[in-house]
A and B are shown apart, each in its own frame.
Chain A
Amino acid sequence: DTEVTQTPKHLVMGMTNKKSLKCEQHMGHRAMYWYKQKAKKPPELMFVYSYEKLSINESVPSRFSPECPNSSLLNLHLHALQPEDSALYLCASSQLRPDTQYFGPGTRLTVL
């Protein structure tokens, strides 16, 4: 199984809402990632988890809160987002050594 899954596919939320994005992989990868992608731009790294521990936080605002409950699951908790946070949020996983990152289908987030 070389697939990363993400839910939901689409999410519309107000600026006062709290929501969560979910990501799952069963490839035994020990690194998992959250990316934000705006239209016509490359994916922008937000967080990296290795061995279920946060190893990279690319100066992301605290309204984004990642969580890695186990080696297969990755969550991104959202609170008090701004309209400019509207984007495609991609999850990915990989081995720890330099190797392919497998991307999930993404969650299209719209903040009203």
Chain B
Amino acid sequence: GENVEQHPSTLSVQEGDSAVIKCTYSDSASNYFPWYKQELGKRPQLIIDIRSNVGEKKDQRIAVTLNKTAKHFSLHITETQPEDSAVYFCAATKDSENYGQNFVFGPGTRLSVLP
């Protein structure tokens, strides 16, 4: 089955700096890669996603890149702000006909943005 690794497990940056979180996956059939942000005591919320037919996607200060050959994808946050502090989870999934999706999550990265 799919296995997703995520690094680093914790990341501290100064406000205004960039943050990069990297995930690797094992199943070459995986074709959808979302990133979720979870603040303390709250639900995971999608911040950006990418499909296997795209190499890069950007939404304001957030971008995701995908390297299918190397089977890794990365989250890039520029101009970090204190409100970016949270746990970030990557995930991978693939087509499964009518069975819904089995998201396999990475273990998470705790990002702290220091003012």
Contacts and interface: CB of A to CB of B under 8 A. Distances in A.
Same assembly: yes
A90 B102 CA distance: 15
B44 interface: yes
B95 interface: yes
B103 A103 contact: no
Nearest to B98: A50
Given A42-B106, A43-B44, A90-B43, A99 B100 contact: no
B43 A42 contact: no
Contacts of B31: 98
B99 A55 contact: yes
B95 A97 contact: yes
A105 B39 CA distance: 11
Interface in B99-113: 99-103, 105-108, 110
Interface residues of B, number: 27
Interface in A89-107: 90, 94, 96-106
Interface in A55-112: 55-56, 90, 94, 96-106
Interface residues of A, number: 27
A39 to B, nearest CB: 10
28 contacts: A33-B100, A40-B108, A41-B107, A41-B108, A42-B89, A42-B106, A45-B102, A45-B103, A48-B100, A48-B101, A48-B102, A55-B98, A55-B99, A56-B100, A96-B98, A96-B101, A98-B32, A98-B93, A98-B94, A100-B34, A100-B49, A101-B34, A101-B46, A101-B103, A103-B43, A104-B43, A105-B42, A105-B43
